[in-house]
Amino acid sequence: MFGLDIHKLLEQFRYHSQEPLIFNSGLFLFLFLGFLLIYIPLSKTHRPKLLFVTIFSLYFYYKSSGLYFLLLLVTTTVDFSLARLMYQTSIPWKRSSLLAVSLVVNLGMLGYFKYTNFLHQIFSQAAGVTYEPFDIFLPVGISFFTFQSLSYTIDVYRKKLVPVKHILDYAFFVSFFPQLVAGPIVRAADFLPQLSKPTFVTGEMFGRGVYLICTGLFKKAIISNYISLNFVDRVFEAPGLYTGFENLLGIYGYALQIYCDFSGYSDMAIGIALLLGFHFHINFDSPYQSKSITEFWRRWHISLSSWLRDYLYISLGGNRKGKVRTYINLLITMLLGGLWHGAAWRFMLWGGLHGLALAIHKYAASLNFQWNPKGRIGHSIYSFLCIFITFHFVCFCWIFFRSPSLDEAGQMLYQILHHFTPQVAYDFIVGYKEVVFLMILGYALHFIPAKTEQHAQVWVTQLPMAGKALLLSTLIFLVMQIKSSDIQPFIYFQF
């Protein structure tokens, strides 16, 4: 009996494809507590700390993708070596060749795992043969760590960054587990300098870390998980079975779900990093409060949008080659950004719509048209209309992002336009009262003023240690009360 229990315990530490290791799981809490018992004594050291965290990070990725954690080692070894060689030579063609190798290795690896079946499907349809997908496993978070590693080699090539001397430093940067599988995409220029500084967690850092972990856990494990399982997923899988009114609320639900899911992960990643003495930049800034699509992309998935701007849009020429070229560059950047999210036409359509909207907004801004409503009420109405239009355009685009195929997306739009049936509103509220409550709560929390959120963060920071522990324990208890039997991975794990 004792041996059987040991076997079951050891099984928890092995990779299981249906049970990836995620922040809101009991296993992660158990592992993280054990991790801290070793990390805290090592935190004042340098190499031992880096080595221990890197080993734990590799294990963390193993628990998410199995033996594909070896891809991390390949990426680390290749880009570390190429960056060193690039820095040591001043011959332009050699530097360009080394960067090209980095691009081929990283994008080739990403392309194989993510886009082989997509291209195979296109060629099969063009040739008129039956499409049979290859059995290719998509490693969790491969898009994130390849982009992160590419930013390092590109910055070294552009002479904006001096490469690290020790491969352990670079391995720590690429594999650091809080943001490894779903971002934020951390820049080497922001993160690597922190490695040489003594690890020190201030009271403010600890309090902010606890606050972010609590808010992230609440957004992901309570709001996002519940509304997706009990309403949103059902609507998007079979929109024809629901009225247009229910489909519209399903879209609003998904807009909240994906925000709470992804920003919740980012909050937890930033919070865990703070507890370990490291700083990440904010990745979401109340994006649905945006007054334009350009502002939305300054607030949504900031690490990705800034990466696309700095390494793709600017490389294409940015706005330096005339207005028409600028609009084309915006469209290309967002089309590729859509393709980054998934190997399907619907993702490219989603990215193309955003690219087109960005180009139109940039053109409108170039006309220097200014409308300044007079008075406080006029300004408030104008701001509300801008936010309302931007939010609904984003929600419209989410239809193509979330729908299983373009057919379901078209069916959802048809139901909204031709079978809206608002008479079901009362029955819907009664039948889905918990979902309605969480949606109202989620949007209310999203639209609270920034100052109110800052006050809440200060309040948590100033709580005594017992108060912080009680807050976190209460939240974990709430999560356990509404937790489903199946693990709900973060949406961006698939990207």
CA distances from 170 to 78, 158, 166 (A): 11, 18, 7
**Residues 199, 204: Cα–Cα separation, whole Å:** 14
Residue 291, Cβ density class (10 Å: 0-12 exposed, 13-18 middle, ≥19 buried): middle
Written as six digits, the tokens of 215 are 């808010």
**Residues 72, 84: Cα–Cα separation, whole Å:** 18
Catalytic residue among 341, 354, 379, 418: 341
Q: State the DSSP code for 344.
A: S
CA distances from 396 to 214, 251, 401, 446 (A): 30, 8, 9, 19
Instruction: Give which of 323, 311, 261 is closest to 495, Cα–Cα.
Output: 261
Tokens 């158990």 found at: 30
Tokens 């969790």 found at: 140
**Residues 208, 262: Cα–Cα separation, whole Å:** 19
Instruction: Give which of 214, 276, 277 is closest to 460, Cα–Cα.
Output: 214
- Whether the bond between 184 and the residue before it is cis, its omega within 30 degrees of 0, is yes
Q: CA 205: distance to chain centroid? A: 22
User: Active-site residue 341, yes or no?
Assistant: yes
Q: Known catalytic residues?
A: 341
